[in-house]
Structure 1
Amino acid sequence: MSIILSRKLLCPLIILISYIMEAQQISGVILSETGYPIETATIQVFPSGNATISDKQGRFNIPIAEKDSISFLEVNHLAYLKKQIPLSIQQNLDSIEIRMKAIVTDLAEVTLVQKSILQEVINNSQSVVILDKDFISSNNTGTFSGALAALPGLNTMNVGVGIAKPMIRGMGFNRVLVNNRGIKQEGQQWGADHGLEVDPFDVDNVEIIKGPASLLFGSDGLGGVINIKDDRVPEKDGHFLEYLGMYQSDNGAISNTIDWEGKKGNWSYGNRITHQDYGDYTVPADDFSYAGFDLPIFENRLKNTAGNEFHFSGNLNYRSKTFSSTLRISSFNQKAGIFTGAIGLPRAYNLRHNGDFRNIDVPRQENQHHMITNNTTIAIGSDQLEIDLGYQRNIREELSFPGAHGISPELVGSNLALGLYLDTYTANLRYEINANDDRQILFGSQLQYMNNQKDGFEFLLPVFNSFQVGFFHYQLWELKTKWKINAGLRYDIGLHHIDQHLQPIYDRGTLMPTGEFEERTPDFNREFHNISGAFGATFKRNRKNIFKLHLGNSFRFPTAIELSSNGVHHGNFRHERGDSNLGIERGYQGDLTYLFQSSDLFLEASAFYGYFTDYIYLAPTGNFSPLASGGTLWQYRQDDAIFNGFEFSAQYNIAMGLQVDMAADFVQNLNLNSRLPLPLTPSSSITLGLDYSFLQNQEKLKNGQVFISGRYNFSQNRTDRNERSTPDSFILNAGITMDFKFLGQKLTSRLSVNNMLNARYLNHISRYRLLNLPEQGRNIIFSLKVPITI
């Protein structure tokens, strides 16, 4: 009897091994009970541990080496019951079909990358969106911030098409923290014309946290966090190369990026090189108005808005069961023109093109961001120690003609108007205690030191040194099966030392120095202390309905810029002046989120309210600057304020590959002193999209998708004093994407059209809005991705 049983077990194993030797992979499709493909399901082979994630069509492919030991598959997804599939009973390992039963499990399971208590705690009570590489690639128009603008509650503050920074729920600048691979990125983000210096192709996974996150991330996490996760590690040993090229018709933008990564045992590496080159972009307008003058736009093209970029990154990783460490180096380099009509007093003859639409003239920006980071995780029994170390060198140079600033060219050796050089050192420490299955404890500290130097014939910021250190404690409790509670406290210290600056005074007629000096900024020190806390709860009413509540007392220290700036910020067309007496900005915020998810419908609705004491903002005074070409004078002020609003998103799978998406957002605020709205508040919007998937079972052409979406931006009439209102607008986008084979090589192509109707519309928070310049016109984007296994 034992011999007969052994033969019965041996035969399937022999069949299984033969299939593996032939196919060298396990592939198939993940479907719901009704037959609809399930995206982002995690499929893992045991005991080897090889894993992957299903694509939009529910398909997956796990390479298997001969030495790998395999027994069964395990499939996990947020909305479905976990399922295990014995591989010994499968007749064909390259066409496995797995049906999943609908169920809503712990929200933390949505995380697509290596999980830590830091992300799990936040996910349990706040409104969080997790984006993968496919989403970022599909919405990429040349900047990382631009890809995020497709989400409800997020907007892009841009200068042309190459410079952009994100806003979350109407908050931007130093209220949105960018956590880049564990390190808070510092890149002069206080300026509206300063873009987010991140290679848009060099991001695999992003977590967007909406609302207060100061407790775990520190000052600047007041409005939300953009958490760029660790680099992806190859699933199997070998070397892999991927090329992606993209072309945009509006400004002739050409983007090329190459990713080269590999893995051998516990070691892995990754390298990426990106180059972008774009010309002057076009707008659906023939003229614009500035300072009471109507000026022409020749051939609908904005002169001197071209740019080029070169980025590099490399990482080396070691991972074992108890220890992992990643060393990463990155370099972001950008040279971008500023529209000729945006600085000084433009004249019609200065706006005419010379025929070279890719020439980058003066005025322009030259930006660099160099970064070295190390992330180490050590397992100590069931506990875990995480250490993040980082150094950043941010170089920002603005070039302009001295004469436009009231200075004789003979007195300066170059066109460098403003040079800002910021060095930042960061160290983070977190210790996670897993007391039991129902309780997790986190202790942490964060330290940051910044030194800013300056150069150039203009003055905006003085030399300064800043130091911050914070300590926090956080806990998570799971109560029975329906409730999860988290809470914590934080203490921070902030120090600023500001150097005095004396600026020479120049004669308005001769543009020569008078021999006299004006004190723009005095020498002074400021010290700040703060205690904050947060509380969150998640209630799973049943398998489909989940409620989340988050209450936070967030904070933000005044920056050295807000305390000491005093000069012309030409990228913003204004004179900006700080106030050395500004105090700590505090927010008392609450978020309520409802989630519903079934096999065919996903719905999320979030409402938020925030009361802020001593809210810091830059407001127009209504007066003109006494400085040459200074424009209007804007002053940093501090008043109590209220923010409130909501976001709504839904996704419904109709049938036969047809899907409907809808998103809406609304934010408003009120200055409790002036009883007027705060400046630069984004317009509310509503988006409706339709996706159709086809070619699911074809061999040469497959994974096809056609999509069309329309976005309606409501008019923004709630404006601050001396701020223009913005009319409503409608933008239509469409496109098609599919995979195909060429000479035996799999390729992924995408063709899309943004602003199909060539609508003339204004972005209320764009810096060119002050000139009545509309956004980019019709833009056809084509991209091609070529993965290569070496």
Structure 2
Amino acid sequence: MLHLYRLLFFAGCLFTTTLVAGQGHPWVFSGVIKNQDNQPIDAAAIKITPGSRHTVSNQDGTFMLSCPTGEKMKFLEVSHLAYQPVRILLQDIENHVNIIITMHDAVQVLQTVEIYHQNLLTAMVQESQPIQVVDREFIEKNNTGTFSGALASLPGVSTMNVGVGIAKPVIRGMSFNRILVNNRGIKQEGQQWGADHGLEVDPFDVESVEVIKGPASLLYGSDGLGGVINIRADKFLEADGDRINWISSYQSNNDAFSNSMGWQGRKNNWVYGARLTHQAYGDYTVPANEFTYAGFNLPIYENRLKNTAGRELHYSVMMGRTSEHVTSTVRFSAFNQEAGIFTGAIGLPRSYNLRHENRHRDIDFPRQENQHLMLVNNNTFTLGKNKLEIDLGIQWNQRKELSFPGAHGIEASAVNSNLALGLRLTTYTANVRYQASWAHGHKVLFGGQAQYMDNEREGFEFLLPDFYSAQFGLFNYHVWEVNPKWILNAGIRYDHGQHTIQQHLQPLYDRATLQPTGEFMERTPDFDREFENFSGAAGVNYLLTPGNNIKVNFGNSFRFPSAIELSSNGVHHGNFRHEAGDPSLDIERGYQTDVTFSHESKRLLFELSAFYAYYQQYIYLAPTGRFSDLSSGGTLWQYRQDDALFNGLELMANYQLPFDLKVEMAVEWVQNLNLRTDLPLPLTPAASVLLNLEYSGFNWAHSIFSDAYIFTGAEQVFEQSRVDRNERTTPDSFILNAGMGCRIQVAGRQLQFRMNVNNVFNSSYFNHISRYRLINLPEQGRNLVVSLKVPVKL
């Protein structure tokens, strides 16, 4: 039966590819937005409604926006805080490429409109690199309980997870400190170097996300080597008023309940908002009854993994003031998570410890307790045709890993708590960007970034010492709009970084009595490291014909070695091994080429991206072939550097069939090569093909239901046999998902209902980059996800 579904899946892919030819060109609307004094209007929001296509006018008031032809009763809407909105029927526009729209000063606001403030970095990057933008609706539709999990359906983006509550993004085979998360203008800092350390972002507190695939170090700094996940600033309401909504969801596999309430408001020029989210989930189930640890097969009772439950409480508040020339906001957010770690994944598991006794919501040892607090101040100043942005941020990140001391070879009476490892990281960040228009079609961006980090450790285990880090960078970036078809860009950057590592002496314990011996071993010495780097990038954006566009980018990216790579020396239970740093590691440098071709016509949206990269001194963990001398340390792994190659492609297609059927396809493939060993690098995602078929042709006149849809989705993940030494191969898998949704009119309010079934056939499959792949644990079994979004007040 499974082979039949695979055959139908690939037949659907073949059918989709045969439909890409012979489509008409879209309407391409371009022009200029001016005020009554014939002066250009910057940052006017241009949107085609109904629909989601939108853009923002440039400093000279120009804009370009496309729309499929043949669609009736669509409007071009233009809005700006200082002017009255404009609404034009598309079919009434005679000259699509030379539209002049005059906006009048705002006397009163006629309707409530949400607007985005596109930051300067995004406006620059999109000229030569592929950027995928997803909104709140996409995140809610793909809800898995984590922010990273919601992005996993994008081509080129994967998820490295630990169970169901801890996940981090992987872009083009890169993760950890090679993927930068820019949260409301501030680089989010936590303990992102660990495979068992999730991304600490509330999945319900994200309005819109931009995913930049490929090198972005020039504008974003050191950790932008492999890509950037840019969480946009919150929307503002343009009209006075308040809007409150409640979203509630349930997942059957682990009996998870999620509830989140959001509030947005405006009074004159003051804007404000808040959100409160609570999530609680129990032990999750897998389609397996045993797993492997250290060569032994151990049982999974009733297919449920003991101690994988969790609780989360997140909240945020925002207040600011916005006007024609100045926008300033202050935002505070708190992420709080308590998550159990499967009892068979840490220490020395025994079969009797794996029996859960039907208490599926208990959070026992081992477990994680994570807290991430962030205070951010964003400021934008409009200075005539120029713009200045200043972002200031403070982050407090605390991570606690709790476990029984006996599982680590230490007598409980020898320590004063069950805190195995505690890490407290404080980060201060400041960003300044100034954009100027030097001539018609020529924009230049000057920027500077500074960051200081202070990390302190505690607990009876040791992995990395206390350290201080500081970085600052300066960059200059130019964009030339040569003509309506050609856009060129280039830039240069300088960075300086420093790590100050403090000595750590670890007490020794007798292996027979588990008591301290009174002796100490130096795990990490005192040392300082300084780094500096120059880098550059250049690109071109060429409009072949209306609806056909090609972007080419050449980038020189870099990454400073992290403190964990320089100074770690301990058992990392998240990876089942002893990990040791190397104080002599050098800067990691990459030379990348990206080519992206996109096509947009009446029914088809198609984008193909290919990349090739050469990395000098690529940093990775490699086995030494020796056993650790630490209790439960396993084998010893050492950070080292070798040159490496990366290449791959992503394909995204969206085709509108007759009868309100839509087909979406996403393909991703990446491979790499260690030039010293002639073997692949570890933790490389397998190639995959995702196909979705959605029907939205329901017409329930005079009904309380509207915007209904049903879909089925299938994902084929191919075998990953290109692995490093001591890394398992992973067989191929085929997963089928299905779902439905609609809007429901109740008491004058429009509710959004969604229901998805993930892994319909309860298939047993492995995620090659999952931490639990190391112990032969398959991914989550069948899961029913139901959500309801309710506007409490409009």
TM-score strictly above 0.5: yes
CA-to-aligned-CA distance 1:668-701 (integer Å, 9 cap, x gap): 0000001000000001100111011133564411
Give the one of 463, 466, 475 matched to 1:463. Answer: 466
Give the one of 691, 699, 702 matched to 2:706. Answer: 702
Aligned to 2:722: 718
Name the aligned partner's letter for residue 253 of structure 1: A
Give the one of 617, 622, 630 matched to 1:619. Answer: 622
- CA distance in structure 1 between the aligned counterparts of 2:35 and 2:657, rounded to whole angstroms: 35
When structure 1 is superposed on structure 2, of 382-391 and 625-634 the one drifting more is: 625-634
Structure 1 residues 36 and 439: CA distance shift in structure 2, 3 A: closer
Q: Does residue 788 of the first structure (1) align with residue 776 of the second (2)?
A: no
Aligned to 1:78: 66
SS in 2 for 1:510: coil
Structure 1 residues 105 and 123: CA distance shift in structure 2, 3 A: farther
Give the one of 346, 357, 379 matched to 2:382. Answer: 379
Structure 1 residues 759 and 560: CA distance shift in structure 2, 3 A: same
Aligned to 1:645: 648
Given that 2:26 and 2:546 are in contact with CA atoms closer than 8 Å, whether structure 1 keeps it comes out as no
Q: Describe how 1:356-755 pairs up with structure 2 within 5 A.
A: 356-695=359-698, 698-699=701-702, 700-755=704-759
CA-to-aligned-CA distance 1:122-166 (integer Å, 9 cap, x gap): 111111101111111111110000001000100000000000000
Structure 1 residues 289 and 101: CA distance shift in structure 2, 3 A: farther
Give the one of 183, 192, 197 matched to 1:194. Answer: 197
The CA deviation at 1:225 is 0.2
Given that 2:26 and 2:600 are in contact with CA atoms closer than 8 Å, whether structure 1 keeps it comes out as no
- CA distance in structure 2 between the aligned counterparts of 1:246 and 1:75, rounded to whole angstroms: 39
CA-to-aligned-CA distance 1:369-408 (integer Å, 9 cap, x gap): 0000000011112111100000000000000001111111
Structure 1 residues 623 and 232: CA distance shift in structure 2, 3 A: same
Structure 1 residues 639 and 75: CA distance shift in structure 2, 3 A: closer
- CA distance in structure 1 between the aligned counterparts of 2:482 and 2:30, rounded to whole angstroms: 27
| TM-score of the superposed pair, with normalisation by structure 2 | 0.88
Give the one of 275, 291, 297 matched to 2:278. Answer: 275
SS in 1 for 2:140: helix
The CA deviation at 1:45 is 14
Q: Describe how 1:254-265 pairs up with structure 2 within 5 A.
A: 254-265=257-268
Structure 1 residues 183 and 104: CA distance shift in structure 2, 3 A: farther
Given that 2:26 and 2:547 are in contact with CA atoms closer than 8 Å, whether structure 1 keeps it comes out as no
% identity of equivalent residues: 58
The CA deviation at 1:46 is 10
SS in 2 for 1:571: coil
Given that 2:644 and 2:673 are in contact with CA atoms closer than 8 Å, whether structure 1 keeps it comes out as yes
Structure 1 residues 134 and 112: CA distance shift in structure 2, 3 A: farther
- CA distance in structure 2 between the aligned counterparts of 1:254 and 1:358, rounded to whole angstroms: 12
- CA distance in structure 2 between the aligned counterparts of 1:392 and 1:123, rounded to whole angstroms: 28
Given that 1:79 and 1:105 are in contact with CA atoms closer than 8 Å, whether structure 2 keeps it comes out as no
Q: Does residue 757 of the first structure (1) align with residue 757 of the second (2)?
A: no
The CA deviation at 1:114 is 2.1
Aligned to 1:70: none
Structure 1 residues 51 and 415: CA distance shift in structure 2, 3 A: same
Name the aligned partner's letter for residue 709 of structure 2: Q
CA-to-aligned-CA distance 1:426-482 (integer Å, 9 cap, x gap): 000011102233010000000000000011011001000000000000000011221
Name the aligned partner's letter for residue 750 of structure 1: R
- CA distance in structure 1 between the aligned counterparts of 2:94 and 2:301, rounded to whole angstroms: 58
Structure 1 residues 482 and 572: CA distance shift in structure 2, 3 A: same
Aligned to 1:771: 775
CA-to-aligned-CA distance 1:707-747 (integer Å, 9 cap, x gap): 11100000000000010000000111110010011233211
- CA distance in structure 1 between the aligned counterparts of 2:584 and 2:701, rounded to whole angstroms: 67
Given that 1:713 and 1:729 are in contact with CA atoms closer than 8 Å, whether structure 2 keeps it comes out as yes
Name the aligned partner's letter for residue 305 of structure 1: T
- CA distance in structure 2 between the aligned counterparts of 1:739 and 1:512, rounded to whole angstroms: 64
Given that 1:475 and 1:486 are in contact with CA atoms closer than 8 Å, whether structure 2 keeps it comes out as yes
Give the one of 332, 335, 355 matched to 1:332. Answer: 335
Structure 1 residues 571 and 35: CA distance shift in structure 2, 3 A: same
Given that 2:592 and 2:611 are in contact with CA atoms closer than 8 Å, whether structure 1 keeps it comes out as yes
- CA distance in structure 1 between the aligned counterparts of 2:623 and 2:734, rounded to whole angstroms: 29
SS in 1 for 2:549: strand
The CA deviation at 1:96 is 9.9
Structure 1 residues 629 and 151: CA distance shift in structure 2, 3 A: same
The CA deviation at 1:35 is 13
- 5+ residue gaps, structure 1, are 1-33, 61-73, 88-92
The CA deviation at 1:51 is 6.9
Given that 1:79 and 1:102 are in contact with CA atoms closer than 8 Å, whether structure 2 keeps it comes out as no
The CA deviation at 1:768 is 0.3
Structure 1 residues 84 and 393: CA distance shift in structure 2, 3 A: closer
Given that 1:37 and 1:58 are in contact with CA atoms closer than 8 Å, whether structure 2 keeps it comes out as no
Structure 1 residues 85 and 462: CA distance shift in structure 2, 3 A: closer
Name the aligned partner's letter for residue 771 of structure 1: I
Aligned to 1:159: 162
CA-to-aligned-CA distance 1:603-639 (integer Å, 9 cap, x gap): 0001000000000011233332211111222211100
Structure 1 residues 305 and 84: CA distance shift in structure 2, 3 A: closer
The CA deviation at 1:37 is 13
Give the one of 169, 176, 179 matched to 1:176. Answer: 179
Structure 1 residues 476 and 696: CA distance shift in structure 2, 3 A: farther
- CA distance in structure 2 between the aligned counterparts of 1:680 and 1:256, rounded to whole angstroms: 34
Given that 1:686 and 1:713 are in contact with CA atoms closer than 8 Å, whether structure 2 keeps it comes out as yes
Name the aligned partner's letter for residue 710 of structure 2: V
Given that 1:315 and 1:329 are in contact with CA atoms closer than 8 Å, whether structure 2 keeps it comes out as yes
Given that 1:80 and 1:100 are in contact with CA atoms closer than 8 Å, whether structure 2 keeps it comes out as no
- CA distance in structure 2 between the aligned counterparts of 1:702 and 1:41, rounded to whole angstroms: 33
Structure 1 residues 344 and 645: CA distance shift in structure 2, 3 A: same
- CA distance in structure 2 between the aligned counterparts of 1:653 and 1:775, rounded to whole angstroms: 33
Given that 1:253 and 1:278 are in contact with CA atoms closer than 8 Å, whether structure 2 keeps it comes out as yes
Aligned to 2:255: 252
Structure 1 residues 238 and 673: CA distance shift in structure 2, 3 A: same
How many residue pairs match? The answer is 732
CA-to-aligned-CA distance 1:237-263 (integer Å, 9 cap, x gap): 111110000000000000000001111
Name the aligned partner's letter for residue 511 of structure 2: R
- CA distance in structure 1 between the aligned counterparts of 2:594 and 2:413, rounded to whole angstroms: 58
Given that 1:103 and 1:544 are in contact with CA atoms closer than 8 Å, whether structure 2 keeps it comes out as no
Q: Provide the aligned C-alpha RMSD in A.
A: 2.9
- CA distance in structure 2 between the aligned counterparts of 1:283 and 1:147, rounded to whole angstroms: 20
Given that 1:281 and 1:302 are in contact with CA atoms closer than 8 Å, whether structure 2 keeps it comes out as yes
The CA deviation at 1:105 is 8.8
- CA distance in structure 1 between the aligned counterparts of 2:523 and 2:273, rounded to whole angstroms: 47
- CA distance in structure 1 between the aligned counterparts of 2:425 and 2:743, rounded to whole angstroms: 44
The CA deviation at 1:579 is 0.3
Given that 1:475 and 1:488 are in contact with CA atoms closer than 8 Å, whether structure 2 keeps it comes out as yes
